[in-house]
Structure 1
């Protein structure tokens, strides 16, 4: 998709104003909380601005003071979750690489646990991402975050193995992002025992894939 078109989309979906006072922040929180509850209740059908306003106990005009449309509300809600991933991965990408297999396994499990915690703590936002992926205006925004996350995974891989070429690191980084996301989305929908089992399975898969790419090609 044309980059200029993407920029126009994102400009149209930006909040109308950033809350600078505590009262304004509370209003925005009410709007986002209402949108989250409605999205969970309605599944993949995005709630209307009117429904969000009614659930938040606000007038539609009050909502429009902060957001131009319902897509902007969903985007702001999802950004709170999506923006949490890059700092976690970037920290790992800049840390010293483990110097033996046991250290690698421990480091990898800690890394996966950090990522898994973001899904577990924000599991109520999963329906929001699904709505965004079904919306042609919002899907490019999710794809942009995915690209950044995959790139950070690639940087982490090249930290583990400096001899790894960029193209191979990018391919594996994309796999880590996609497989991890799909697995953890499934996990948060199950019981805690299922979640723990999926996280352990993810560790096994990632370790096997990592090991085969740690030696120079």
Structure 2
């Protein structure tokens, strides 16, 4: 696990900008290359840095991709929080609009970062790395539960958490399936997931 951790955390603005350049370059390359992971040399060239500069912060390309995966996972709480901060929907039509907004935002995160999905799946299958994803999973489930209770304050916490976990797991697995297919197939699967979500949670939300 240590070999996949950054060598040092940026403490100054210049160092932080350097790390951002490295991660931005790696992200662009993962989007361009699809399932092929970029080499450290390619990342350095795209960032306009020497390979030595890369190694000051990361021991290998896997550590860079892991840091990218962390940033990807960290984007979801903010997206869900936007729905919690929105005015409470008062009927099913308004709730469907809120779900649609959430799907637009989260789908973009998957589509823009499709090249990272092998890294995400590798984290899930690695006993040493799985705690990284678990930490974010728990946060995402809690936010989904908070969103449902925002819509229906009378909803019991245990029920909201159970529904939140199903929303997260079903959405993630189905999107991974969709990313392996055409964009049209991805969009159809997204519509199917949205339909399943609505069927799952609407009876618990006391909406007219």
Q: TM-score normalized by structure 2?
A: 0.81
For 1:99, which of 90, 94, 103 is the aligned residue? 90
Q: Could you tell me how far 1:121 is from its partner in structure 2? A: 1.5
Give the equivalent residue in structure 1 for 2:22.
Answer: 28
Structure 1, unaligned runs of 5 or more: 1-8
Partner residue, 1:41: 36
Q: Over the residues paired in the alignment, what is the CA RMSD in angstroms?
A: 3.1
- 2:17 maps to 1:16: no
Q: Which runs of 5+ in 2 are unaligned?
A: none
- Cα distance, 1:111–1:59 mapped onto 2, change above 3 Å: closer
Check 1:71–1:176 CA distance in 2 against 1; reply closer, same or farther (3 A cut): same
CA drift at 1:193: 1.5
For the Cα contact (< 8 Å) 1:75–1:138, is it kept in 2? no
Q: Judging changes above 3 Å, is the alpha-carbon distance between structure 1 residues 17 and 39 closer, same or farther for their aligned structure 2 residues?
A: farther
Corresponding residue number in structure 2 for 1:201: 192
Kept after mapping to 1: 8 A contact 2:26/2:43: no
2: distance between equivalents of 1:70 and 1:135? 17
**1:41 Cα deviation (Å)?**
2.1
1:1-217 mapped onto 2 (5 Å cutoff): 13-18=5-10, 20-21=13-14, 24-25=18-19, 28-29=22-23, 32-33=26-27, 36=30, 40-41=35-36, 52-53=40-41, 56=44, 61-215=52-206
TM-score, normalising length: structure 1: 0.78
Distance 1:198 1:26, change over 3 A: closer
The question of whether the paired residues in 2 share the 8 Å contact of 1:98 and 1:104 is answered with yes
